[in-house]
Structure 1
Amino acid sequence: MITYKDLTKGPNFFLMAGPCAIEDEDTPLFIAERVVEITSRLGIPYIFKGSYRKANRSRVDSFTGIGDEKALRILRRVREAFDVPVVTDIHETREAEMAAEYVDILQIPAFLCRQTDLIAAAARTGKIVNIKKGQFLSASGMEHAAHKVTECGNEQVILTERGNSFGYSDLIVDFTNIPAMRSTGFPVVMDVTHSLQRPNQASGVTGGKPALIETIAKAAVAVGADGLFFETHPNPSVAKSDGANMLPLDLFEGLLERLTRLRMAL
């Protein structure tokens, strides 16, 4: 299983990928098995991603999860079955210690990246802390977020770019944010699929522009991102969360092959 020190040690980028939410028991295992096959062949360090609960929803009737403990047990099963680290997001300080019992990386959602108590609670677990840059925040502001972790005695920080708000219902990626955040000395990830969301739609369901996934991913590799983040699903049209901007699982292998060739050419 890869460690924090492994994330920037190899020649390739590392990968965070999985479904948006843990929506059942079989889908996460199916996704993990397929992605492990691909990443093992391509020499890509792999971290399985899955949210045990979705707290940031557009509508009150949106899917939030199958139950915290049930979903966390599924994440642990993925971890043990495929010997890969697992990342999940937390939303309140009380969740940090609970989730840390099951996963290797605690993720701070973009809208919560300024929540000092939440970041500190994650840091004190001793787990790796992945902080997503807020859609409202500059790259330079993320240095302060990272220092909230290190001030707790935890040096294991990842910073993730996921686009900035552009108007009321779109996002735009400023690729200068990646080298700017890398200058902090922490690994930087490009969250490809979330950066292609179209939030605040009239329907109350977030839209997306998945046709641009490869474009954003290639640009991130070209400017030196240490890692890439994708949400993927065997059938995004039936995914219970974020299906509009997901990468179909059957397209993953070809994309990772092309991205690996690009990385090796740099």
Structure 2
Amino acid sequence: MRHAVKVGDYTVDGSKLLVIAGPCVIESESLCIEVAHALKEITTQLDLPFVFKASYDKANRTSIESFRGPGLERGLEILAKVKEQVGIPVTTDVHETCQVKPASEVVDLVQIPAFLCRQTDLLVEAGKWAKAVNIKKGQFADANIMVHAARKVEAGGCKNILLTERGTFFGYGDLVVDMRNLLWLRQSGCPVIFDATHSVQRPSGLGSASGGRREFVPLLLRAAVAAGVDGIFLEVHPEPDKALSDGPNMVPLNFVAELLAMAKELHAVVRKFCQR
């Protein structure tokens, strides 16, 4: 049975779709403030709970030459400003155990990257310090093992845990989404989030960087909401093709309102006919 989870002032229990959205990486303070304000306005109008996401460090970029972000200290300063000025919860990912405590002092939701979903020390440390934890399912991982990742976080003391589906490796340079995973993840008892943008990523598809097929985001999002997810994750940018990370799979900011309105209406239909 799924249990409710607290993220900031929100209770994630399936009654409303949780929206986790923002740029892939912190490119600048001004960009984060701009996107956060725009997304807050959209989600407020739609009456959807919203958590702003941006990474202070993209530690698994394909190339050593790729932009990684401003780093832990400056990145957390920017996220703190977003939280204070825009009045919303914030999240970011952590990569090492030493990052968990300082990140947890700022963000409302600590994210465990997909490639690190089996890292026991990182998961336990997140459970020790974080208010809530979102674990991305690895592209290599069976959905049924994610219950063990959740138990590692619980061993650290945190019960507010989300699990996120983001696609599975399909050969060497592509991902495919098995919608059955959304049901299997739910068997953990944790609310389930669907990452609609990383799921269309093409790992290392551009040679020195990852590619993506953002035109498939609406299709996969509709399918995931119809399958009964509790929230959706979107990476968003005003000009994705000029973004410094993951541009090919990010959603243009001016398309988000339409996408979320569609998701909200579909979610209402699912709840009407498939009470969970």
Could you say whether these structures have the same fold, taking a TM-score greater than 0.5 normalized by the shorter chain as the test?
yes
Quick one: percent identity of the two aligned structures? 46
Candidates 113, 123, 142, aligned match of 2:117: 113
SS at match of 1:6: strand
Describe how 1:58-137 pairs up with structure 2 within 5 A: 58-137=62-141
Does the CA-based 8 Å contact 2:90-2:108 persist in structure 1? Answer: yes
Does the CA-based 8 Å contact 2:7-2:132 persist in structure 1? Answer: no
SS at match of 1:70: helix
Aligned partner letter, 2:155:
E
| Residue 4 of structure 1, CA deviation | 7.2
**Is 1:39 the equivalent of 2:43?**
yes
Give 1:3's aligned residue: 8
> What are the superposed Cα offsets for residues 41-64 of structure 1, whole Å, 9 maximum, x if unpaired?
111100000101110010010001
Describe how 1:199-214 pairs up with structure 2 within 5 A: 199-201=203-205, 203-214=207-218
- State the Cα RMSD in Å: 1.4
- CA distance in 1 between partners of 2:99 and 2:178 (Å): 32
Candidates 152, 158, 164, aligned match of 1:160: 164
Normalised to the residue count of structure 1, the TM-score between the two structures is 0.96
Give 1:219's aligned residue: 223
Aligned pair count reads: 265
> What are the superposed Cα offsets for residues 115-155 of structure 1, whole Å, 9 maximum, x if unpaired?
00011111100421111000111110100000001122211
Aligned partner letter, 1:260:
K
Give 2:240's aligned residue: 236
Does the CA-based 8 Å contact 1:2-1:45 persist in structure 2? Answer: no
Give 2:173's aligned residue: 169
- CA distance in 2 between partners of 1:4 and 1:184 (Å): 23
Q: Which runs of 5+ in 1 are unaligned?
A: none
Give 2:16's aligned residue: 12
Aligned partner letter, 2:43:
T
**Is 1:258 the equivalent of 2:244?**
no
SS at match of 1:56: coil
| Residue 67 of structure 1, CA deviation | 3.1
- CA distance in 1 between partners of 2:75 and 2:137 (Å): 25
- CA distance in 1 between partners of 2:71 and 2:267 (Å): 39
C-alpha distance 202-212 of structure 1, shift in aligned 2 (>3 A): closer
Aligned partner letter, 1:79:
K
Q: Which runs of 5+ in 2 are unaligned?
A: 1-5, 271-276
Aligned partner letter, 1:7:
V
95-104 vs 198-207, greater mean Cα deviation: 198-207
SS at match of 1:127: coil
Does the CA-based 8 Å contact 2:182-2:229 persist in structure 1? Answer: yes
Does the CA-based 8 Å contact 1:189-1:228 persist in structure 2? Answer: yes
- CA distance in 2 between partners of 1:252 and 1:180 (Å): 28
- CA distance in 2 between partners of 1:247 and 1:79 (Å): 22
| Residue 202 of structure 1, CA deviation | 5.4
Does the CA-based 8 Å contact 1:32-1:48 persist in structure 2? Answer: yes
Give 1:150's aligned residue: 154
Candidates 195, 208, 227, aligned match of 2:199: 195
Normalised to the residue count of structure 2, the TM-score between the two structures is 0.93
C-alpha distance 170-94 of structure 1, shift in aligned 2 (>3 A): same
Give 1:51's aligned residue: 55
SS at match of 1:151: helix
Give 1:185's aligned residue: 189
| Residue 175 of structure 1, CA deviation | 0.5
